[in-house]
């Protein structure tokens, strides 16, 4: 009879411990982080949890907000808003008087993504469209969804400064080589962001680039009557972009 009583008491104790501490649980802390493991001890306000890689960690039990069944680990960040840095490279392709042309462009920007999906920032770059330019621009984006694969729209607008002279054939022989000046830049586009852990992402996009430069030439045919002409050159290019977001 005593043996039966002892076995019954042991069974009740084991059942109580099992009910209190399931084999595996996911604990949610007050900072939003999650830990999945088996609780093996609870003393003095500390929980000792055995995790998968044969390790035991201790937690202040008062930091635990909730506990439940093990959750599937999710690499996607809970919140994407905040400051970020963008690096991108793209191919610019279009037509010119010499036929089909293409060139490369590299951009760097800093921006802030708000919780409503609107992102605002500023950046600069370097590119060659017959003249080497350094564009300085405002970068406005809209990202409507918070998903691991997230589409977005962008508009870049600003001013490009030349660091070389235009090399195209646009004049007559009685004009000198001229002086190149910068001009307005406008670049709308659409893309997708492929997010990974900690909010970093790879971006793919396509857009359309409009760039204006001015070109001033002095006439050399009649030096006694100094005159000059100023030409406005508009470049239109399709853009294929690969970029990276760092948070």
CATH code for the domain in which residue 51 is found: 2.30.30
Q: Are residues 163 and 228 in the same domain?
A: yes
pLDDT band at 199 (very low <50, low <70, confident <90, very high): confident
pLDDT band at 102 (very low <50, low <70, confident <90, very high): confident
Question: What is the pLDDT at residue 32?
Answer: 64
Q: What percent of the chain has pLDDT over 90?
A: 39
Residue 89, domain extent:
82-246
End-to-end C-alpha distance for the chain, whole angstroms: 68
Listed range (58-62, 67-71, 240-244) with the worst mean pLDDT: 67-71
Q: Rounded to an integer, what distance in angstroms lies between the CA atom of residue 128 and that of residue 157? A: 17
Q: Are residues 143 and 38 in the same domain?
A: no
Q: Are residues 97 and 168 in the same domain?
A: yes
More confident site: 51 or 82: 82
Q: Are residues 222 and 102 in the same domain?
A: yes
Number of domains in the chain: 2
More confident site: 4 or 92: 92
Give yes or no for residue 11 having a pLDDT over 60. no
3-class state of residue 63 by DSSP: helix
Q: Rounded to an integer, what distance in angstroms lies between the CA atom of residue 24 and that of residue 26? A: 7
pLDDT band at 17 (very low <50, low <70, confident <90, very high): very low
Q: What mean pLDDT comes out for the span 212-234? A: 73
Yes or no: say if 199 and 80 are a contact pair by the CB < 8 Å rule: yes
Question: What is the pLDDT at residue 216?
Answer: 77
Question: What is the pLDDT at residue 100?
Answer: 80
Q: Are residues 228 and 114 in the same domain?
A: yes
Q: What is the pTM of this model?
A: 0.63
Question: What is the pLDDT at residue 10?
Answer: 45
Tens of pLDDT along 35-56? 777 777 776 666 677 776 656 5
Tens of pLDDT along 118-174? 999 999 999 988 889 999 999 999 999 888 899 999 999 999 999 987 766 555 555
Report yes or no on 8 lying in a domain.
Answer: no
Question: What is the pLDDT at residue 226?
Answer: 63
């Amino acid at each position: 009879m005593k043996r039966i009583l002892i076995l019954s008491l042991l069974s009740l104790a084991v059942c109580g411990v099992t009910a209190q501490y399931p084999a595996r649980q996911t604990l949610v802390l007050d900072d939003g982080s999650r830990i999945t493991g088996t609780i093996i001890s609870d003393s003095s306000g500390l929980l000792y949890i055995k995790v998968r890689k044969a390790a035991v960690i201790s937690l202040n039990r008062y930091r635990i907000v909730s506990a439940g069944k093990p959750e599937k680990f999710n690499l996607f960040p809970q919140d994407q808003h905040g400051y970020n840095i963008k690096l991108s490279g793209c191919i610019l392709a279009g037509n010119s008087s010499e036929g089909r042309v293409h060139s490369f462009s590299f951009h760097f920007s800093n921006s802030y993504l708000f919780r409503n999906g609107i992102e605002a920032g500023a950046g600069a770059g370097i590119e060659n469209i017959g003249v080497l330019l350094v564009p300085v621009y405002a970068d406005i984006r809209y990202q409507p969804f918070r998903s691991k694969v997230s589409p977005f729209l962008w508009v870049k607008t600003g001013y490009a400064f030349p660091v070389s002279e235009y090399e195209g054939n646009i004049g007559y022989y009685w004009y000198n080589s001229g002086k190149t000046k910068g001009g307005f830049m406008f670049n709308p586009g659409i893309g997708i962001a492929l997010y990974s852990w900690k909010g970093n992402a790879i971006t793919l996009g396509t857009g359309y680039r409009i760039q204006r430069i001015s070109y001033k030439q002095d006439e050399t045919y009649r030096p006694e009557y100094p005159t000059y002409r100023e030409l406005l050159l508009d470049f239109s290019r399709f853009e294929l972009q690969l970029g990276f977001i760092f948070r």
